[in-house]
Amino acid sequence: MSGSIYGNIFKISTWGESHGKALGVVIDGCPAGVELSEADIQTDLDRRKPGTSKYTTQRSEGDSVEILSGVFEGKTTGTPISLVIFNKDQRSKDYSEISKIFRPGHADFGFESKYGFRDYRGGGRSSGRETVARVAAGAVARKVLLYLGIEIIAYTRAIGKIEIDYNNFNIDERFNNPFVMPDSEAAMKVEKILEDAMSRKDSVGGIVQCEVSGVKPGIGEPVFDKLDSSLAKAVLSIGAVKGVEFGRGFDAALLNGSDNNDCLFYDESKKVHKYSNNSGGILGGISDGDKIVFRAAFKPTPSIATPQKTVSSSGENVEVEIKGRHDPIVAARAVVVVEAMTAITLLDLILLNMCSRVEYVKNYYENL
Amino acid sequence: MSGSIYGNIFKISTWGESHGKALGVVIDGCPAGVELSEADIQTDLDRRKPGTSKYTTQRSEGDSVEILSGVFEGKTTGTPISLVIFNKDQRSKDYSEISKIFRPGHADFGFESKYGFRDYRGGGRSSGRETVARVAAGAVARKVLLYLGIEIIAYTRAIGKIEIDYNNFNIDERFNNPFVMPDSEAAMKVEKILEDAMSRKDSVGGIVQCEVSGVKPGIGEPVFDKLDSSLAKAVLSIGAVKGVEFGRGFDAALLNGSDNNDCLFYDESKKVHKYSNNSGGILGGISDGDKIVFRAAFKPTPSIATPQKTVSSSGENVEVEIKGRHDPIVAARAVVVVEAMTAITLLDLILLNMCSRVEYVKNYYENL
Amino acid sequence: MSGSIYGNIFKISTWGESHGKALGVVIDGCPAGVELSEADIQTDLDRRKPGTSKYTTQRSEGDSVEILSGVFEGKTTGTPISLVIFNKDQRSKDYSEISKIFRPGHADFGFESKYGFRDYRGGGRSSGRETVARVAAGAVARKVLLYLGIEIIAYTRAIGKIEIDYNNFNIDERFNNPFVMPDSEAAMKVEKILEDAMSRKDSVGGIVQCEVSGVKPGIGEPVFDKLDSSLAKAVLSIGAVKGVEFGRGFDAALLNGSDNNDCLFYDESKKVHKYSNNSGGILGGISDGDKIVFRAAFKPTPSIATPQKTVSSSGENVEVEIKGRHDPIVAARAVVVVEAMTAITLLDLILLNMCSRVEYVKNYYENL
Amino acid sequence: MSGSIYGNIFKISTWGESHGKALGVVIDGCPAGVELSEADIQTDLDRRKPGTSKYTTQRSEGDSVEILSGVFEGKTTGTPISLVIFNKDQRSKDYSEISKIFRPGHADFGFESKYGFRDYRGGGRSSGRETVARVAAGAVARKVLLYLGIEIIAYTRAIGKIEIDYNNFNIDERFNNPFVMPDSEAAMKVEKILEDAMSRKDSVGGIVQCEVSGVKPGIGEPVFDKLDSSLAKAVLSIGAVKGVEFGRGFDAALLNGSDNNDCLFYDESKKVHKYSNNSGGILGGISDGDKIVFRAAFKPTPSIATPQKTVSSSGENVEVEIKGRHDPIVAARAVVVVEAMTAITLLDLILLNMCSRVEYVKNYYENL
């Protein structure tokens, strides 16, 4: 397999298991000259960190990142940046009883079918904890994007059947509740359904929306490596995501062309605008200059303490209650992961785009 | 850019424009020894071919494929297979009037922003006609998958608000109506809404569902190159797709874990089964042995003859009516394209999986 | 396998067999806006064309290239450029008698071991004719490099034991003799040894030297994708090449550091120069601003009409005389192939280098 | 840039600087089920370790490797293996005086031209110390190859003008002298020339030969990713290598076809053999079943304490004596690096080859 390396120019190579010694990422292809410190990365890691409210796993991890290479005198050198986060609070024995059981809704059976055995401690490589490395890499990509004036903001749009009301939308509100919802009223409703689910030892799904501003038109490759197809892969590669849609998304299938097409106009400064943004900022796989908007559907956490029928690796039909420390909702902690994967993917396509015209190449080479 | 090459082992490289001389694909990495003839490929191409009903573009293209390399004495040689389809019925002058206009809902503005100019004839490389090469490559991948007992079937699940009724589901029916719907009643209803839309010079969106049987558990890489994330990219790279979802998809976000988890059991022959298939056959990015099920949302054809506000490349706000020959619905002709991209992606991940265990490697090498 | 695709950004995908219908290449990643016509490419193809002297195979091929996509109104569009060269003068029956014999010095036995059977007509994909596609792609890369002021010139430095004398060096002379030697006296001596070898139904090896001017310092990636390691792969991927060396090359192994190091100095305009060029223009895998210089060793053509011991695929020890139409010397016709592979590789690394500093990225993005 | 990731299936991603906190490698694509411990890797690292004789740098590094992920219960899991080696004996201040000087024969000027600044401490990423990560990854690849019966042995063939005498060849001897020479007499002669060079504050070049046994015919891809072109890149990517040649190598250019071709015969068990091995075990880029043999030319260490003319980054012509702790000869410590790069490259191509025939694919899938 070779599925833990991602990207074309800005390439990341992640590693580590839930209950191993550490997790990390090597970034090969970050441009030289980016001011980068551990604090820049820690900010995003802290948003993903467990144990910050009673609605997340109580595993206690500081998730402190260490930069082991690729930064010299405060700036990226252009050579690989190695980031490591050591595990602190593994309790592997929690998992001994499920070592021979395939948990419903988990990759256990697939992993064992694939590799012949598996690191069952906390799901090993298939744990949500794997995303800590993505967030670290995403923080670096985000740093580069900031130089370009590009901002990526994701938030929880819905948890279970509770959706935010865009009349109450306040993006600053998202950090004031444990669900990362930009609507305090919706967040209060969510508390109730979560308390209810948790009391029933159950979990809840949700939807994350991501919006990117500052992307100029022309980014994305027109055939396979479209901006949206690339983002779709990026986001669906996050565990628990079961769907992704851009702009009007699935609703577009219900519309007529005359409703769905976004008409264009010039403003006074001869900049092109659209009257609407059904496209979600991407047409034919290429950015159209408008805000990029997409949504990802997260299934409910599969680890639940209610009894479930399943099978053991030794051939028996059994019943299991998943103990250990689990989030009752994945979507909220995943918000920053969605941002990270978006940042990494978008930066990579922007870098690729630098080579799209011979005049860019000529201009660059003449000024060397 | 380098966005027209796709795959890791089974790599395809597509080329060609709507109104150029030809379109084609080079497949590098097809295993040697596959029996392959032009007829094998033509079957799928004929399903995508325009002009087969009044609900598709009236452009007349035989879409005959020619094998230029990689097949010797009826079998693939293991070296690149070059497939070409020459264009016959280009009417480029149809496009002269839109050469300086950015069509709403199209990639025109993005293309021109990206490359500085564009082949405006029929959309050039951004035309739906580009998919003819995908279908050709997909037919080859499908041929290999058949050796493995894997079958891929897609169909139109909905057009506009008309959805098929699974009580009437008959997969053989899909080739008896121009919408590729496995429900003859739904197809009749679609005729009406399409007639209506066409009379209003409008177009309609739709949803394609794809199902794959015969995939054993263990296929797909656990982190970035998941089976579902890879399929998502594959499918979203088809023009006009705005969303994709697996198994329960977006609905999973509304569920509790206890409802969404698929419980497992052994049958008498000790094969693992699931009581339900909310996962869509994929968990943690790896096949779970169940049928793979996903859906893609297609937006309505953006080319419509109703007047729309837009801009010209010379800086004016204008109004445009898109003439020429266009499908009023994309989804139906795209069914075989969805199958093709699925075949290519799945085969590639199966080939990658051959290297997943040292016992496979050893067994292969010892028997050389 | 997936070994017929090459490059990171400027990616080429070649296809075709010696006696198939055609050969060709798809270039994905050529920047938009390059003025390109078939004549631009034909010039280089004509240098590789067979039958131009009695010292090359007498197979008669015009090797006319056709551009099937990727060029619009005389300029590259940024999307894939498909180039095709149809075969004209296949005489496949020449090969029927060797269809069951593994020719010494050829890939026959390896191919059959790898794929289980092979297209034996003229060596199929392992024929030197495969390089026609490389030359076509190389001509496009060269066109881009010319915009940057980069010039690539290769020539035959030695054939058998006859080496050019640098006192007689005249680069214009290389097109005045069939051996592409920039020394008319050496060329005359070569004629004699070739006549002699041909009379004995034998063949001769040789050395090609390649020099690139106009490469600014800083090109090449410092670890695996070094400028020299990348060129080495490029050149050794040409059939019949058995060695490659840069600057002083193998001789450097005999030297002391004090002799081999190139000392540096500033000229009056504060440009950095070296007192010598033992490095061949590359240090630590990165261009140092000096002329890039390397040599490739070509073995003698393995197809010879002298009787040789070998084996049949049916299990017998046999003797074979290779008939058909073969070059008595590979190196001369390969000169343009070396240039082509150099152009493709160098351009690719220059494009990659555009992303090496955040100030380049910022400057590009701000000016979009 | 993205030049620190290498391989197609068995992918390695290396990182770290000479005087940073640590160096390491992430291996993505190692098959599951390989028994692997730190001791397996340490054996090879100890061969590369500095300070083992007076003919290497006196920097004192234990070079202890730690496995941070990808191994569970003593076996590789199939997911990324992260290996780290912490630096212990950095003396960065040794380098302060050369921080503003471009050392002759080094990448300093190229690095600064490329990235705008550089980590000058010990050459940063361009240091020979970078190869510690290659050796660690190579040890893992070697472990897999041992399952297949493949053995890779390299040795120093020549240092300066002293070449081993194959009449005295004794492979076990290579670990009995600090030059890794399989000829004790030659080693004694080398001592003298090294003492002499060191007394003159000078350094010496050398040639490393590598031989691989147990490679079955059919490995390597026939066009760009040839077995020899891939090995050439692998080996030339090691700092200080200036040339590589296979089998007869550069000498083949002097021969006639009748001398250079290796004639074939069947032995009694109908196995194919060659009467000679001028091919070096590779024909047309594919293994021919014979021993693989190639040589790499290493230039003399560029860091010498003799005064050399050079330039400062501030624009002056200056003179420099390189102090610090340096090997007077690179080739000897590089022997294990050559083996490592060979192992990584060969394994990768063997894994790729698993997909070369549909019968292999079918056989694998049926037995899942």
**């080696």: which residue's tokens?**
D85
Residue D335 has pLDDT above 80, yes or no: yes
Q: How far apart (Å, rounded) are the C-alpha atoms in residues A61 and A325? A: 12
Per-residue pLDDT band at C39 (split at 50, 70, 90): very high
Contacts of B84 in chain C (CB under 8 A): 68, 84
Q: What percent of chain D has pLDDT over 90?
A: 88
B9 contacts D78? CB cut-off 8 A: no
Residues C301-339: tens digit of each pLDDT: 999 999 999 999 999 999 999 887 678 898 889 999 999
C94 — pLDDT class (breaks 50, 70, 90): low
CB contact under 8 A, A286 and B130: no
The sign of the dihedral angle between the CA atoms of A319, A323, A326, A327 is: positive
Residues constituting chain D: 368
- Searching chain C, which residue's CA lies closest to the CA of residue A366? C148
Report the alpha-carbon distance of residue D192 to residue D28 in Å, rounded. 45
Share of chain D above pLDDT 70, in %: 97
Q: How far apart are CA D308 and CA D322, in angstroms?
A: 9
The region that residue A103 occupies, defined by phi over 0 for left and psi between -120 and 50 for alpha, beta otherwise, is beta
Task: Look at residue D272 in the predicted model and tell me its pLDDT.
Answer: 97
Q: HSE on the CB side for D239, CA within 13 Å?
A: 27
CA atoms of D78 and D33, how far apart (whole Å): 7
Q: How many helices (H) and strands (E) does chain A have?
A: 8, 19
Residues whose CB is less than 8 angstroms from the CB of residue D259 and which lie 6 or more positions away in sequence, other chains included: C300
Residue carrying the six token digits 């020619």: B66
Report the alpha-carbon distance of residue A331 to residue A335 in Å, rounded: 6
Residue with the two structure tokens 């080579």: A355
DSSP D305: S
Report the pLDDT value the prediction gives residue D1, as an integer from 0 to 100: 52
User: In the predicted model, what is the mean pLDDT of residues D139-145?
Assistant: 98
What is the ipTM metric for this complex?
0.97
Token pair, residue A157, equals 């749009």
What mean pLDDT do residues A313-320 have?
A: 94
Which pLDDT score is estimated for D61? 76
**Pairwise CB contact (< 8 Å): D5 & A14:** no
pLDDT for C280: 98
Read off the pLDDT band of A323 (50, 70, 90).
confident
- Quote the pLDDT of residue A94: 64
Contact C69 B116 (CB under 8 A): no
Q: Is C197 on the interface with D (CB under 8 A)?
A: yes
Residue with tokens 């005064």: D307
pLDDT at A53: 79
Q: Which of residues 249-308 of A touch B (CB under 8 A)?
A: 249-250, 252-266, 270, 272, 275, 278-280, 283-289, 297-304, 306, 308
**Strand-pair category, B162-163 with D81-86:** unpaired
Which pLDDT does position B92 carry in this prediction? 62
Minimum-distance CB partner of D33 among B223, B352, B357: B357
Q: Which of B6, B10, B72, B96 to mutate to test the interface with C (most CBs of C within 10 A)?
A: B72
Which of B14, B28, B77 faces C119 most closely, judged by CB atoms? B77
Q: What integer pLDDT is reported at residue C93 of this predicted model?
A: 66
What share of chain B in percent tops pLDDT 90? 88
* C351–B contact, CB cutoff 8 A: no
Torsion angle defined by CA atoms of residues C31, C35, C38 and C42, in that order, rounded to the nearest 10 degrees:
-90
B56-60, C272-276, D169-173, D221-225: range with lowest mean pLDDT: B56-60
Q: Which value, to the nearest 10 degrees, does the dihedral of the CA atoms of residues D209, C286, B4, C146 take?
A: -120
- pLDDT at residue D217 in the model: 98
Q: Residue B183 CB: number of other CB atoms within 10 A?
A: 26
Is the per-residue pLDDT at D96 higher than 80?
A: no
**Mean pLDDT for chain A?**
94
Q: Please, are residues D303 and D177 in contact by the beta-carbon 8 Å criterion? A: no
Q: What phi and psi values does residue C22 have, to the nearest 5 degrees?
A: -165, 170
Please, are residues C216 and D109 in contact by the beta-carbon 8 Å criterion? no
Q: What percent of chain A has pLDDT over 70?
A: 97
Q: How confident is the model at residue B175 (pLDDT cuts 50, 70, 90)?
A: very high
Arithmetic mean of pLDDT, D252-266: 97
Percent of chain C with pLDDT over 70: 97
Mean pLDDT for D103-119 is 95
Q: What per-residue confidence (pLDDT) applies to A62?
A: 85
Residues contacting D175, CB < 8 A, separation 6+: none
Q: How confident is the model at residue C92 (pLDDT cuts 50, 70, 90)?
A: low
- Mean of pLDDT over chain B: 94
Residue D270 has pLDDT above 90, yes or no: yes
Cβ–Cβ < 8 Å for A218, A341 = no
CB pair distance less than 8 Å for D22 and A68? yes
Distance, CA of A367 to CA of C102 (rounded, Å): 54
Tell me the pLDDT band of A294, cut-offs 50, 70 and 90: very high
Rounded Cα distance between A173 and A139, Å, is 21
Distance from D281 to chain A by nearest Cα, in Å? 28
How large is the average pLDDT for residues A208-233?
A: 98
How far is residue D53's CA from residue D195's CA, in Å, rounded to a whole number?
Answer: 13
pLDDT digits (tens, 9 = 90+) for B106-157: 999 999 999 999 999 888 999 999 999 999 999 999 999 999 999 999 999 9
Rounded-to-integer distance, Cα C111 and Cα C123, Å: 10
Asked which of B233-237, D47-51, D88-92 is least confident by mean pLDDT, the reply is D88-92
Listed by number, the residues of chain D in 145-184 with a beta carbon closer than 8 Å to a beta carbon of chain B are 147-148
C271: left (phi over 0), alpha (psi -120 to 50) or beta: beta
Q: In the numeric block, which tokens belong to residue D246?
A: 């296979």
Instruction: Report the neighbours of B using a cutoff of 3 or more CB pairs below 8 angstroms.
Output: A, C, D
- Across the range B15-29, mean pLDDT stands at 96
The torsion of the CA quartet D329, D330, D333, D334, rounded to 10 degrees, works out to: -150
CA B120 to centroid of chain Cα atoms: 24
| Local confidence band at B94 (pLDDT 50, 70, 90 cut-offs) | low
**Does C201 have pLDDT greater than 80?**
yes
Q: What is the pLDDT of residue A1?
A: 52
Question: Are D31 and B361 an interchain contact pair (Cβ–Cβ within 8 Å)?
Answer: yes
Does residue A95 register a pLDDT over 90? Answer: no
Contacts of D68 in chain A (CB under 8 A): 15-16, 20-22, 24, 84
Of the candidates D342, D235, D356, D363, the one whose C-alpha atom is nearest the C-alpha of residue D10 is D342
Please determine, for residue D94, whether its predicted confidence score (pLDDT) is greater than 80.
Answer: no
Interface touch C356/A78, C-beta < 8 Å? yes
For B243, which of A226, A249, A310 is closest by C-beta distance? A249
The residue among B224, B288, B352, B365 with the most chain D CBs within 10 A of its CB, best to mutate, is B365
Segment C208-214 mean pLDDT: 98
Q: How far is CA D87 from CA D64, D65, D84, in A?
A: 9, 11, 10
List alpha helices for B156-226, DSSP H.
184-199
pLDDT digits (tens, 9 = 90+) for B38-87: 999 999 999 988 777 777 776 777 899 999 999 999 999 999 999 999 99
Predicted confidence (pLDDT) at residue A96 exceeds the cutoff of 90: no
Residue D53 CA: distances (Å) to CA of B306, D60, D64, D132, D332:
84, 11, 18, 18, 11
How close C331 gets to chain B, by Cα (Å)?
Answer: 25
Both tokens of C12, joined, read: 């080429």
Specify the pLDDT at position B269: 95
Does B266 have pLDDT greater than 80? yes
Residue D15: which H helix or E strand, with range? strand D11-16
- C-beta separation of D147 from D34 below 8 A: yes
